[in-house]
Amino acid sequence: MCSLALFPPPLPYGQTTVCESNNELLSGSSTEDQLKQDFSPPSLSFPRESLKLHSRTENSSKAAFLDHSETLWMRSAAAWRDGGLTGLLNEITNSHPEVPKWLSMSSGCILALLQWVSSFHGSLFPHLTLSSEDMIAEFSQVLNWSDCVVRAFAWHPHTDKFAVALLDDSIKIYNPKSATTPTLKHRLQRNVAVVQWKPLCASALAVGCQNCLLVWHVDPCSLSTRPSAGCAHVLSHPGHAPVTSIAWSPSGSLLVSASPMDTAMMVWDVAAESCVPLQRVGGGGVTFLSWSPDGSHVLASTPSALFRVWETRMWTCERWPCIKGRCQSGCWSPDGSRLLFTVQDEAVIYSLTFTNTPAAVPSGTSKGPHAAVVVADLSETTFSTPDGDIIVGGEIQSLAWDPRGERLAVLLKGDPRAADRSPIIAVFKTRVSPIFELLPCGFVQGEPGAEPRLMQFHPNFRHGALLTVCWSSGRITHVPFYFLSASIPRLGLSGSPTLPHVQERPADFANQSLFTEFIS
Amino acid sequence: MFSAEQGCWFIRKVICWRAAASIAWAVLLLPPSTAIFVILSKFSVLHPIQTISECFSMLTSATAIFSFILLCGVIIMVGFLNFEYYTVIPTIACSKIALFGQLLHPRQLVNSLVHCIMGMIVAWCSAVTIGFRYETLGHPCAQTDGYHQMCLNEYHLILLLGGAFVGFSHSLLGVIHNMNYVSFHTVQQYKYLRFKGCLPLVVKCSATQALYSVRNFIVVYYFLGYIPRTWICKTLNLHLGSSAHPLDSIAGLLDLSLLYHLWISATFLLFTWYITLLLFRIFLTEGYSFPVQSSFTEDADHCLPKVLTEKQPMILKFLALQDLALLSQHSPLRRCEVFSLSQPGGHPHNWNAISKECLSLLADLTQRLVAYHDTVATNGRAKSLSSGSERKTSSETSGTEDFMSPRPTALMKTPASVFTRSIAGGQQSPLTAPFTPDLDSPFMSPALRRLAAPVEQGSPWYGTVQSPHIMRRVPKLWSTSTDSQVNGSSPPSPASVPSDKQEPSKPSFLAQFLQNRREQVKNFLAKRVLIVYLFNKLPEASSQALFADSQAHIWALEGLSYLVQASFSEDQFGVVQTTLPSILSCMLVLQEAVDRHFKLPHASSKPVRSTSSMGDSTYKTLRFALRATLKTAIYRITTTFGDHLNAVQLSAEHRKRLQQFLEYKE
């Protein structure tokens, strides 16, 4: 098993990780110290002060207007429209003088009964009592989402453009090849939890937000900096909000979305705006989705100690109960045969393998493994550095695996109460075939005081892997890992990787005890 | 239709069995739903235990068993009607009058009548089951002189009539919402899971639909209820009971228990029918795996390449295309068979047949779109050129036009040109698909409409019959006038008048006179509100009709693109490479045509989504699905092959277009 003790110690204070080359992580004292490279995506910064935040939420703006007395019928209708049955009952209960006493009494009783039932339901699934904003923060892959300037980030799967969702509910699209940066704003686009580009398409961007799911069509040739709201299609289903996770199928035909409030996972045919709810007993919601790169499986985790792995041919699922907590994050190997996942309150990474059954034989369930294997232990480890002891390790916020399956980035939560245990990104070297191997690579650190919040690998970086990290300061930086891919480049990643100026040495890790499948 | 399809092995061996299985399941599901209905209809809050014991005794009684057998018969009949009337290509009415035409079609009338009768039978069964005051049609009542005689039990009657009304409205709504249209889902699921997923929707739909139907029925009964009542009294020699309220009064109808029983029995009726329909849809659209090639010659007709090329029955073609899309996506073994060479000879027959059929499907759609666009665009241009003279001759016409389409710059069609085209459509073979949407123009004379009427019935997919009109796309400016002259009739449109003046051969004075008269009649008619209402085109209906069968094209695109993608690594003999240029150019041409079509008004407006209806509205969004699939398909090929595509022979225009895709700029 690979543990943090094998890692090289974190960088001293003031140093930032620049890149990996020749099998080691290079550091520099400032961000200008970047290596010259033929592809350098823009490193952006969004200072918190530059964003124009909403001074108040939409609901509270009611107070700014004069009270207008409407008839009871009008108010009841409005309450029914806005708040449903509970709203209507509330309205009737609260307007004593206008309604007969028995009506207000009985509606009050029904309301109390409903609240009692829902509190009972809430005690079964505690997350249901959260407000939608808290719920997104709880289940998002972003560390400390509610306080984060960059709330979501997505690379386009085929080109070098990316979308950034900001704290002020706008989404900006950056393309190194074009001067315009379109800003997407929509009335319904509030509290963006996740964005993702549609594969095999140049323009479609799916956005999961508080009340619905939006699919933007951003014409790459358009010069407009503010695409109109007409470019967005709203996908909504009653009870399916807030959306905390979405995943496009790698073939670009389907989109799945998940909400912790809804026990069903929605499979959308986006163009036809139709959806198929996939529902199974247990779990009490769906929080995180991840579609395997080969398109055969979907990981769906729930708020309780249970996750499911769906196979996408006939949409049947396997149940995977966890022992301790819910599945927090997961990622698939490029060939879709291996799933790495982490569980809340545990500092280990588990692995599951899936053998692809020949699809000509329609089998009921995909033949999966019987138990997950622990492949890495990230429990707390103390490193002694010149600046003093640094404790690294603990719970895991999210996982990211580069598209070639050679680098695995792990975002460790740290402890917000302890000053010396800030969040940090640990990077592993991995190999998927012939046997699964996990070797330590190092820690990725940013400027002093900046904590990593969100990370994603570039989907087709030619010279290795490119990790994009969004920091708490509002910066977005890119850390390249230069290496020669051991496996054959995947389809679609045309061309062999030309080395920039870094030569690679063969790795000699023979003297360390590392994780391979044979050892565990 | 049914007898014609009987001959096909697929209908005999697969579809019939699927329909039978769905009906069997529907019959098997009848006891639980009946039990629930009995409990709900007899339930009283005050005596729950008594209710249950009553229900038990009810369910085991002889009348219950008899009515249950009747219900089974009804379900079998409904299943049979579903099987008889289903279609995989929806019939889209482009105007109100076309919709009325559909409703009044003899076939539909028979359907409505049968549903009416079955509704009454189900209502009788539920009346017997509910018991209580609903049980019989007559009851003994005492007259003032003490002489006993039979009186009419109006509660029983209202339940029976309610059932008949709900059955009738079910069949009418079936036409309006295209309930006989069977759509295929993009998400494959097992039958049981799909059924389980749809069950809540069915319950919701039947409850709401029953509510609306009962509301309408009560209104109708309030006004017209005395007619059937007196008729029944006369024929059966029953007397009207004088004691109770007559039920077509407000006091009589405000009986909550009566309303509840009406509603619950209507819900029961609709629920059992919807379940039958749902099961039929689920069974019918289940994927069928055709063998790609067979080692026995007698099975050769059942293999995928052969089956794909067949035109009839439609369901066979659809299932074959669905199977193609699935196999290209999911099964490497069967893909391998597609790419294989024939054993003696070494020809890629499988691939050739499959790719040829898919390409011809796509080319057919392209032609349809181009022809449609040409006619529309021609009209727009001719109109803009001749607008001055037209305004001089008839100011009323332009007035009505503005009323019809608020944006004259993007004019969908001028009435005159529609008129011309409808002549052309009427005189050509009735299978000229692209003109289906245009037949019901507001200014078509009844005679011409009758000529063109068969097209309404024909599915728009007999399109391989290529009329000269479809083939022609070159003459754009004056095509209206040339058309009418080719067809031998006098030019009837004002739009073509100025063009005629420029031509050497002028039409005779008589023709001019006739045309002017006709023009006046048309103008006169165009001002009548009812006529405009009936004949006015529904927006986007023509677009929907053009893409009505696009599910087939979507599968063809998916199948082709996945096969081409897989060929990059799996095709050992390079059989795909030979067809790659034609596949690419076909897709690019279609892409261009689709792009142009979506620039037309109404084409890109999204329809309103209606969730609470059993009618499948998938056909309304098929064109968007096709556009998305087409783009994805081209991207799939370009992403897979990358720069290798530069070695493929393509025309310069297509290469330019392809470069856009390679750079992700589409």
pLDDT digit string, tens, across residues B445-458: 444 344 333 333 33
Which stretches of chain A sit within 8 Å of chain B by CB?
156, 158-159, 200-203, 220-221, 233, 251-254, 267, 269-274, 276-279, 313-316, 358-360, 491-492, 494-495
Residue A222: which pLDDT band, with cuts at 50, 70 and 90? confident
pLDDT at residue number A64? 64
Inter-chain CB proximity A276 and B632 less than 8 Å: no
Q: How much of chain B exceeds pLDDT 70, in percent?
A: 77
Q: Compare all CA atoms of chain B with the CA of A253 and give the residue at the minimum distance.
A: B629
Q: Is any Cβ of chain A less than 8 angstroms from the Cβ of B640?
A: yes
Q: Which residue of A197, A198, A200, A281 to mutate against B (max B Cβ within 10 Å)?
A: A200
Q: Is any Cβ of chain A less than 8 angstroms from the Cβ of B192?
A: no
Inter-chain CB proximity B624 and A492 less than 8 Å: no
pLDDT at residue number B583? 95
Tokens of A72: 């009871």
pLDDT at residue number A204? 94
Among A20-34, A67-81, A330-344, name the one with the lowest average pLDDT.
A20-34
Residue B556 or residue B522, greater confidence: B556
Q: Is the pLDDT of residue B57 over 60?
A: yes
DSSP single-letter state for residue B239: B
Among A28-37, A124-133, A257-266, name the one with the lowest average pLDDT.
A28-37
Cα pseudo-dihedral B393, B394, B395, B398, rounded to 10: -110
Contacts of A203 in chain B (CB under 8 A): 666
pLDDT at residue number B505? 52
Kindly report the number of other CB atoms within 10 A of residue A385's CB atom: 13
Contacts of B628 in chain A (CB under 8 A): 201, 270-271
pLDDT at residue number B581? 94
Q: Compare all CA atoms of chain A with the CA of B561 and give the residue at the minimum distance.
A: A251
Inter-chain CB proximity B332 and A494 less than 8 Å: no
Tokens of B593: 């045509």
Residue A373 or residue B666, greater confidence: A373
Inter-chain CB proximity A360 and B665 less than 8 Å: no
pLDDT digit string, tens, across residues B524-546: 777 777 787 777 777 788 888 99
Q: Is any Cβ of chain A less than 8 angstroms from the Cβ of B334?
A: yes
Calculate helix-pair angle for B106-130, B62-85, nearest 10 degrees: 160
pLDDT at residue number A487? 57
Contacts of A491 in chain B (CB under 8 A): 568-569, 640
Vertex B84, ends B175 and B186: CA angle to 5°? 70
Q: Which residue of A253, A256, A363 to mutate against B (max B Cβ within 10 Å)?
A: A253
Q: Compare all CA atoms of chain A with the CA of B608 and give the residue at the minimum distance.
A: A273
Among the partner residues A156, A271, A314, nearest to B627 by beta-carbon distance = A271
pLDDT digit string, tens, across residues A455-468: 999 998 888 899 99
pLDDT at residue number A513? 45
Distance of residue A491 Cα from the nearest chain B Cα, in angstroms = 6
pLDDT at residue number B612? 64
Task: Return d(Cα B361, Cα B311) in angstroms, integer.
Answer: 11
Contacts of A221 in chain B (CB under 8 A): 665
pLDDT at residue number A274? 87
Distance of residue B506 Cα from the nearest chain A Cα, in angstroms = 49
Residue B54 near residue B425 (C-beta atoms within 8 A) = no
Vertex B483, ends B501 and B376: CA angle to 5°? 100
Among B183-197, B203-217, B403-417, B502-516, name the one with the lowest average pLDDT.
B403-417
Residue B196: which pLDDT band, with cuts at 50, 70 and 90? very high
Q: Kind of pairing, strands A373-377 and A2-3?
A: parallel
pLDDT digit string, tens, across residues B98-157: 888 988 999 999 999 999 999 999 999 999 888 777 777 777 776 656 667 777 888 888
pLDDT digit string, tens, across residues A190-215: 999 999 999 999 999 999 999 999 99
Q: Which of B224, B234, B240 is nearest to B165 (CA)?
A: B224
Q: Which residue of B186, B638, B657 to mutate against A (max A Cβ within 10 Å)?
A: B186
- Tell me the β-bridge partners of B149: B141
Q: Is the pLDDT of residue B462 over 50?
A: no
Residue A295: which pLDDT band, with cuts at 50, 70 and 90? very high
Task: Return d(Cα A422, Cα A448) in angstroms, integer.
Answer: 11
DSSP single-letter state for residue B298: G
- Which DSSP string corresponds to B430-498? TT-GGGGGGTT-TT--HHHHHHHHHHHHS-TT-TTS--HHHH--S--SSHHHHHHHHTTS----TTHHH
Contacts of A251 in chain B (CB under 8 A): 329, 562, 632, 636
pLDDT at residue number A96? 74
Residue B404: which pLDDT band, with cuts at 50, 70 and 90? very low
Residue A497: which pLDDT band, with cuts at 50, 70 and 90? very low
* Domains in chain A with CATH codes: 74-129 (no CATH), 149-236 (2.40.10)
Task: Return d(Cα A272, Cα A252) in angstroms, integer.
Answer: 14
Q: Is the pLDDT of residue B390 over 80?
A: no
pLDDT at residue number B466? 39
Distance of residue B421 Cα from the nearest chain A Cα, in angstroms = 31
pLDDT at residue number B496? 38
Residue A345 or residue B237, greater confidence: A345
Residue A418: which pLDDT band, with cuts at 50, 70 and 90? confident
State which amino acid sits at residue B25.
W
Q: Is the pLDDT of residue A60 over 60?
A: no
Distance of residue A477 Cα from the nearest chain B Cα, in angstroms = 25
Among A416-425, B21-30, B171-180, name the one with the lowest average pLDDT.
A416-425
Q: Is the pLDDT of residue B634 over 60?
A: yes
Inter-chain CB proximity B621 and A274 less than 8 Å: yes
Distance of residue A381 Cα from the nearest chain B Cα, in angstroms = 44
Half-sphere exposure of B504 (CA within 13 A, CB side): 0
pLDDT digit string, tens, across residues B339-371: 999 888 889 999 999 999 999 999 999 999 999
Q: Is the pLDDT of residue B164 over 70?
A: yes
Among the partner residues A159, A200, A360, nearest to B636 by beta-carbon distance = A200
Inter-chain CB proximity A200 and B632 less than 8 Å: yes
**Mean residue pLDDT across chain B:** 78
Q: Is the pLDDT of residue A510 over 50?
A: no
Q: Which residue of A173, A251, A274 to mutate against B (max B Cβ within 10 Å)?
A: A274
Q: How much of chain A exceeds pLDDT 70, in percent?
A: 85
pLDDT at residue number B147? 67
- Which DSSP string corresponds to B169-222? HHHHHHHHTTTTB-PPPSS---HHHHHHHHHHHHHHHHHHHHHHHHHHHHHHHH
Q: Is the pTM of this model over 0.90?
A: no
Residue B606: which pLDDT band, with cuts at 50, 70 and 90? confident
Residue B265 or residue A48, greater confidence: B265
Contacts of A278 in chain B (CB under 8 A): 197
DSSP single-letter state for residue A337: -
Task: Return d(Cα A356, Cα A203) in angstroms, integer.
Answer: 32
Among A26-40, A245-259, A441-455, B430-444, name the one with the lowest average pLDDT.
B430-444
Cα pseudo-dihedral B271, B274, B280, B283, rounded to 10: -70
Q: Is any Cβ of chain A less than 8 angstroms from the Cβ of B330?
A: yes
Q: Is the pLDDT of residue B434 over 50?
A: no
Inter-chain CB proximity A316 and B193 less than 8 Å: yes
pLDDT at residue number B48? 74
How many residue pairs from chains A and B have C-beta atoms closer than 8 A?
A: 97
Residue A217 near residue A184 (C-beta atoms within 8 A) = no
Range B289-295 average pLDDT: 88
Contacts of A315 in chain B (CB under 8 A): 187-189, 193
Inter-chain CB proximity B331 and A358 less than 8 Å: yes
Q: Is the pLDDT of residue A28 over 90?
A: no
- Tell me the β-bridge partners of A195: A207
Q: How much of chain B exceeds pLDDT 90, in percent?
A: 42
Range B37-63 average pLDDT: 80
pLDDT at residue number A65? 66
Residue A509: which pLDDT band, with cuts at 50, 70 and 90? very low
Residue A512 or residue A83, greater confidence: A83
Contacts of B621 in chain A (CB under 8 A): 271-274
pLDDT at residue number B525? 76
Task: Return d(Cα B423, Cα B416) in angstroms, integer.
Answer: 11
